[in-house]
Structure 1
Amino acid sequence: MTSREYPNPVKDFKGFQESLYKSLIAATAAANSIPVEEVGFYRSLDRDFAKDLDHAGSSALAIGNSLLQQCANDTGIEVLNFEDVDDVIQRYGMTTDVCDGLLEKADLCLDQMRGKGFQESMKQDAPEVTQIATKDKLEYKFLHANNVVRPQIHFKDAVDNSNSTPFERKIKYKPHALVPLDFTASNDEIPRSLPHPYVHEITHIEYPQRMFETVEPEMYKPYDTTSPTWVDTEEKLLEMMKHLEGVEEIAVDLEHHNYRSFQGFTCLMQLSTRDEDFVIDTLELRDKLWMLNEYFADPNIVKVLHGADSDIIWLQRDFGLYIVNLFDTYFPTKVLEFPHHSLAYLLKKYCNFDADKKYQLADWRIRPLPVEMLEYARSDTHFLLYIYDCLRNELVNKSTTDGNLVRVCLQRSNEVALQKYDKEIYDAANGTGPGGWKNMLSKWKYAMNPQQLAAFKALHSWRDHTAREEDESWRYVLPNHMLFALVERMPVDSSGVIGCCNPCPTLVRMNAQAIAFDIQKAKREALQAPKEDVFKEEDTSKSETITVSTSGSSTTKMQVQSIKRSNSSVDPALFDLKKAKKLRTETAAKLEKKSSDLFGSCL
């Protein structure tokens, strides 16, 4: 892109911002096209590629130095230029200090512009849109509001993130029951939750015969000339349920939020029949949606979803809804060996509709919901029943006996419907589980000494505890890269903790002193605990296993790059300075020449 193509940021800042995002994404995609570990191999294959890479690195370093010096002048900080990669690694803290200074000044200026000196009541501002261009014509749009009042504050069912109490099942009434609702826990030593209430109904379902017969696909209503019905009151919900009477299939999809919540919550439910689309405000009707079990648990009504693994869990956790007779359109794409398995592919294949994923990363807590987000939401279910007809016909036609391919998809869908939500338990001692420290540690490429390992465990545990108490996600409390920055530097005061995190998260800034104390305590305990280092000496190019024991009961193994050291015997006499001087004098006398070829013996 030439300089002429860049919009003037003074006259058209939004256009300049969009062009900047495009350049950043293109540069990132190009940089990630070759794995880091394979760069050396490609350099050895092509000398021109190596030269171009060196030139690009030098150019990037020069631009970085120029920007750093300019920003340093604005913040009044003196910094030295980075000459090579070693300077970048060793003195990167200077860059952090400059950025911190800029952000502090920007924050102060914004506060002054907005008049934040006056305490205002919390209100939700108009949503802001940030667009990011991607390949082809699709774009992502981050649509967010400045001050969204946290919806969980108004939930009638109190959020329980406790690590010690099991998930409390929300279903109290069980329609279409073949066996009574079971209120007894399993015989486990520590029962985590009650069993799935519809296990018997799902495993003993008798499917309607129409599901195994080919029928003419029923065309969906025109998308451009129809609009969804917004459901946000109990009266509107009851009215919608009247429309569901007598239907044989319904399409369902959910929109979820998990950044400002520990467990996450469902913000929106899209439900479509053959005739109408409904978009349900699940934040307003969270405690009323259990009534939909009258249809969701009815084995005679087919519930069509795509990629329903997460949706099944969210329906149980938030509303106490369970699905009997699920048809997940993801599985036919596997059985029929389609080249792609996404809903976007099915929409294009059967409906010639280009799925608009611009708002895939939008904040679905925003109310009132913008019209463009409302339209995006209903597009996921508007065409789904027609796609279901087409897929089922193909499965029936390719089946060998009695619609066996349809039954394969239904069996796999049943396995998804039988999933049961349980709260994730944090194991601080062993670090097991998807959210445990051991899984995160296995992805860290650099070695940790015993003190760093102890600090890592302490910080990881603090993050989990704080996220549960504040009902925030781990990413919001302390992102992974900041956690590792704290582990690498191990600051022991509040200013050091804040300096490691850029920009510093709110909860880290509020608890900086406590975090510094935890790091000090972890370092002290690691020094006092018995340690054992096991080295398996190999070549310098091979990795070795270091076993670090930070306590008497736990041992952690990490793969690190071995450094082979030769332990040659050293003569203690070499450290006798007088003897060393005498030996050097004798050696010099033997090597000294009495005359010079140039000056003769005059020396």
Structure 2
Amino acid sequence: MDEADRLLAKFAGGIAAPAQGIFKESVRLQALSMKLPKGGLYRYYNTFVSFKQELRALKENVLSAIQVLLSTAVSVESPGRDPVDVRGLDERRRSESIIDATDSLLESVNRRIRVIYCSNIARPQDVWRDDVDNSNRPFIPKQVRATLDYDTSFPPLGRARPTQAVADDGEYAHMYEHALKNLTYDEVMFRVRPRRKRCLSIDEVPLVWVRTVAELAELASQLNTVDEFGVDLEMHEYRSFQGFTCTIQISTWRSDYIVDTLLLRKSVGDYLGPVFANPRIVKVFHAASNDVQWLQRDFSIYVVNMFDTQVACLVLKKPYTGLDQLLRNYCGVVTDKRFQMADWRIRPLPKEMLDYARNDTRYLLYVYELLLGEALALEGGREKALAILNQSRDICLLKYKKEIFSEKSYLKLYSKYKITLEPRQLSAFASLYKWRDRMAREYDESLRYVLPNHMVFLIAKYLPKDPCQFKAICSYLPPLLKINLNETPTSQCTTAARRSRDPKTTPQPTATPQTPSSPVPPSQDPREAPPAVARSAATRPPRSKMAPPCATAKKKEFVRKKKRL
């Protein structure tokens, strides 16, 4: 446990350290925690006094680390406020506190990153806005070309007719489902190839930056002459509702290509679609489940005959499945993951980001040959190789599905955080969730950009009724919330709060005009009554339960209640 104590101390004291170091220490700490005894073995070890003492010390270190996290979050988001004492909370409240603190810190980091990287970047989707469908209807792909140029000696793929694009249930039918399910592989793929001495590095092959239609046509022509090529995608999703592909990286044995899909979005499918659907050419991906769906969504590109190196690792029962570990073990290459979450809308891309993108595909073909050779060398090698290809084919059969909103969609987020809300708070939560979805679709922004998850819970929990109270509970106001502050979230929260103050009063279904025999009492506030029925003094809530009349006093009381919670 000395190793665990040391890592915990380093983690607790390194909140302000670079994110990469914290991530590595977190992974190592998680691996160590998995080695702790469980079940009957734990009960046996717990009979020893020395084990109890070590475990007690470890628990204290964990609580100290959590306390440091909460203190840091409070100092960043609410300077001057005392942090919650984690030792006085039960296990559920501790988990909620960790989630809230982590969300606040990550949101703070996101704000600072956006100031550096995103402040001067124009939204590329504004150029091809007519190409984006954010409606609350199932996704329908753009029609691909009916005639494909490929070697007729292979089984025909079949033509996708417009009438076959949508199935009976409203979802589109996979245009190459029949071709994929009847796909056969050339015998050449099941022959053991001579092992290459090494793979050429990114410094030894040329890079072609594809930014024009002519260059895209030349790339398609070159790819039609090879037997296999490696593929990877980089996408952006923070400033878009569905996200969009920023670059496509393609590597052959002799060249690297990076396609600027922000410039060529409307042309990529026409030129590269037939190449990716050609069953004669093997497309090598790593962890392709997302990539094949993004290609469908943005370019109507469907992949036929794919080899997924992650699937190969699983079939061969490798102790690792990550691309960085494959490159380290097979190619002796250490990749830099600093740009994994970078903003790929940046133009021009700096050299470091270009090198990162190229490394993801440069060595894929070499790894593909080695993994396929390992599979064929095993007993029943042909079946192993066929299992890899068939499971990769199943990934190609995946269909992109757009997020569809329903009146119960909010329950997914609500159940995920395990935070209990009262009925009126839950009603406000559902309204906020619906408003956020509508704004995201209308402005083509991500849900996180419109209103982060933790803010949805905060607003639903405290039910602010004016801009001052919104600012009191939120460390900052997202741009779309600030612009639309007087719309759905505020009005829904105000309505919920007013109804909670007077549960006995409900609006009548029809209007009843006032008669001289039933005047409105002078002490009654007509704004608090339903539009058709006057409220008597007996049904009016007591003064102590009503909101303070002064806006400043309301804000002070609201902040005071929040601190007590």
TM value normalised by structure 2: 0.70
Q: Distance in 1 between matches of 2:16 and 2:71?
A: 21
The structure with the greater share of residues assigned to helix is 2
Q: Which contiguous aligned blocks of 4+ residues in structure 1 show a shift greater than 3 angstroms?
A: 16-35, 41-48, 50-68, 81-89, 185-190, 521-530
Contact 2:279 2:305 in 1 (8 A): yes
Residue 228 of structure 1: CA displacement?
1.6
Residue 254 of structure 1: CA displacement?
0.3
Within a 5 Å distance, the mapping from 1:42-191 to structure 2 comes to: 45-46=52-53, 49=57, 56=64, 144-155=117-128, 157-164=130-137, 166-175=139-148, 176=150, 177-185=156-164, 190-191=169-170
> Which residue pairs with 1:502 in the alignment?
475
> Which residue pairs with 2:537 in the alignment?
none
> Which residue pairs with 2:187 in the alignment?
209
> Which residue pairs with 1:335 in the alignment?
315
Contact 1:167 1:423 in 2 (8 A): no
Q: Name the aligned partner's letter for residue 423 of structure 2.
A: P
Q: What's the C-alpha RMSD, in Å, of the aligned pairs?
A: 4.0
> Which residue pairs with 2:278 in the alignment?
298
> Which residue pairs with 2:551 in the alignment?
none
Q: Distance in 2 between matches of 1:331 and 1:510?
A: 47
Residue 82 of structure 1: CA displacement?
6.7
> Which residue pairs with 2:238 in the alignment?
259
Contact 1:249 1:303 in 2 (8 A): yes
Q: Which runs of 5+ in 2 are unaligned?
A: 1-13, 151-155, 507-565
Q: Distance in 2 between matches of 1:184 and 1:351?
A: 48
Contact 1:258 1:265 in 2 (8 A): yes
Within a 5 Å distance, the mapping from 1:236-275 to structure 2 comes to: 236-275=215-254
Q: Distance in 2 between matches of 1:479 and 1:372?
A: 30
* Deviation by residue 1:193-213 (Cα, 9 ceiling, x = unmatched): 3x1111111111121111111
Q: Distance in 1 between matches of 2:473 and 2:246?
A: 34
Residue 344 of structure 1: CA displacement?
1.1
> Which residue pairs with 2:434 in the alignment?
461
Q: Name the aligned partner's letter for residue 231 of structure 2.
A: V
Q: Name the aligned partner's letter for residue 407 of structure 1.
A: L
Q: Distance in 2 between matches of 1:311 and 1:54?
A: 38
Q: Quick one: structure 1 residues 178 and 242, their matched pair in 2 at CA, closer, same or farther if it must change by over 3 Å?
A: closer
> Which of 448, 465, 474 lines up with 1:492 in the alignment?
465
Q: Distance in 1 between matches of 2:361 and 2:88?
A: 54
* Deviation by residue 1:262-307 (Cα, 9 ceiling, x = unmatched): 0000000000111111011111111111111221111110011011
Residue 60 of structure 1: CA displacement?
5.5
Within a 5 Å distance, the mapping from 1:137-536 to structure 2 comes to: 144-155=117-128, 157-164=130-137, 166-175=139-148, 176=150, 177-185=156-164, 190-193=169-172, 195-218=173-196, 219-290=198-269, 291-400=271-380, 403-428=382-407, 431=408, 436-514=409-487, 515-522=489-496
Within a 5 Å distance, the mapping from 1:580-591 to structure 2 comes to: none
Q: Name the aligned partner's letter for residue 495 of structure 2.
A: K
* Deviation by residue 1:169-205 (Cα, 9 ceiling, x = unmatched): 3423341553221212578665233x11111111111
Q: Name the aligned partner's letter for residue 516 of structure 1.
A: T
* SS of residue matched to 2:439: helix
Identity %: 34
Contact 2:450 2:480 in 1 (8 A): yes
Largest Rg, 1 or 2: 1
Contact 2:140 2:166 in 1 (8 A): no
Contact 1:493 1:517 in 2 (8 A): no
Q: Name the aligned partner's letter for residue 416 of structure 1.
A: I
Q: Quick one: structure 1 residues 406 and 165, their matched pair in 2 at CA, closer, same or farther if it must change by over 3 Å?
A: closer
Residue 350 of structure 1: CA displacement?
1.2
Q: Distance in 1 between matches of 2:290 and 2:402?
A: 14
Q: Distance in 1 between matches of 2:232 and 2:73?
A: 49
Contact 1:143 1:361 in 2 (8 A): no
Q: Distance in 2 between matches of 1:55 and 1:62?
A: 10
* SS of residue matched to 2:307: strand
Contact 2:202 2:355 in 1 (8 A): no
Q: Name the aligned partner's letter for residue 46 of structure 1.
A: Q
Q: Which runs of 5+ in 1 are unaligned?
A: 1-15, 73-78, 108-127, 131-141, 531-603
* Deviation by residue 1:547-586 (Cα, 9 ceiling, x = unmatched): xxxxxxxxxxxxxxxxxxxxxxxxxxxxxxxxxxxxxxxx
Q: Distance in 2 between matches of 1:451 and 1:156?
A: 38
Residue 86 of structure 1: CA displacement?
10
Contact 1:185 1:191 in 2 (8 A): no
Q: Distance in 2 between matches of 1:373 and 1:58?
A: 35
* SS of residue matched to 1:287: helix
Q: Name the aligned partner's letter for residue 265 of structure 1.
A: F
Q: Quick one: structure 1 residues 186 and 30, their matched pair in 2 at CA, closer, same or farther if it must change by over 3 Å?
A: closer
Q: Distance in 2 between matches of 1:278 and 1:65?
A: 43
Q: Distance in 1 between matches of 2:216 and 2:131?
A: 23
Select between 349-358 and 300-309 the one with higher mean Cα deviation. 349-358
Q: Name the aligned partner's letter for residue 373 of structure 1.
A: M
Q: Quick one: structure 1 residues 404 and 453, their matched pair in 2 at CA, closer, same or farther if it must change by over 3 Å?
A: same
Q: Distance in 2 between matches of 1:66 and 1:198?
A: 53
Q: Distance in 2 between matches of 1:462 and 1:343?
A: 39
TM value normalised by structure 1: 0.66
Q: Quick one: structure 1 residues 190 and 206, their matched pair in 2 at CA, closer, same or farther if it must change by over 3 Å?
A: closer
